[in-house]
Amino acid sequence: MIGPDLIRLALASGDPERAQAVAAAVTGLAERNQVPSLTGAALRCQGLANDDAGTLAAAVQACQPGIRPLELAGACEDAGAAFARHGHPDRARPLLEQALEIYERLDAGRDLARAEAVLRAAGIRRGRRGRRGRPKFGWAALTPAERAVAGLVADGLTNPQIGARLYVSRRTVHTHLTHVFAKLDIASRAQLAAQVTRHQEPPEGTAASSGHARQPAFAEPLPPARRGLRQRLSSQP
């Protein structure tokens, strides 16, 4: 269901009338088809168009019995963000944490990074609920959000472009990259791209899923050069 995304785009471009029109269209579709997922989508669209946290919370309840966890996570994130905006962090926290848990389970790194940014912007500290036993160093130590950022660096995006893609600030991207560089013991974006390629290589004898080959991995990663590391975290000022 792309209705919520269309409403967000309309509101971001300063077109509340278009947002209301999309919400009305999705609501009409839901009324003609008594399907729980459509009911949840309609409530979500109405809540987004009107910045109504209560309606967004109702969308979460409508999505709970469904079989589409990503839509449930999106509804939780929208409701949590709305409660946070309206000064109700106690109601925002459980919704945002539920969204984060689903995104982690689905390994939805980009969605996870965005939801984590909402949590931080609201001044809410998240409990330690990540997977236990995660190593401190190496590729396996990266969180889904850090892997998402690493993948976009490997695709050639700058920090501002990554922030725009993930709906997070440039500072958040910089923080993720600082953690990634430390965990992988590397010092440049080129080395990071090589690491991403190394861990995304298809099994031997199969074709790569993408026709674009990234540069080959280094035989041995260079030790991090501490001096000037901050400058190398971003390819643009």
pLDDT band at 1 (very low <50, low <70, confident <90, very high): low
**pLDDT digit string (tens) for 47-96?**
999 999 999 999 999 988 877 888 999 999 999 999 999 999 999 999 99
Evaluate whether the domain defined by 3-121 bears CATH number 1.10.10: no
- Dihedral (CA of 82, 85, 91, 93) sign: positive
pLDDT of res. 234: 52
pLDDT of res. 190: 92
Q: What share of the chain is helix, strand, coil (3-state, %, to 5)?
A: 65, 0, 35
Unique residue bearing structure tokens 């993948």: 151
Residues of the chain with CATH 1.10.10.10: 139-201+210-232
CATH architecture, range 139-201+210-232: Orthogonal Bundle (1.10)
Unique residue bearing structure tokens 């643009």: 236
Cβ atoms within 10 Å of 165's Cβ, excluding its own: 17
Unique residue bearing structure tokens 């939780």: 76
pLDDT at residue 210 is higher than 60: no
Residues of the chain with CATH 1.25.40: 3-121
Query: Average pLDDT, stretch 10-38?
Result: 91
pLDDT at residue 232 is higher than 60: no
pLDDT at residue 144 is higher than 70: yes
Question: What's the rounded Cα separation, in Å, for the pair 122 and 62?
Answer: 25
pLDDT of res. 107: 79
Query: Average pLDDT, stretch 142-171?
Result: 89
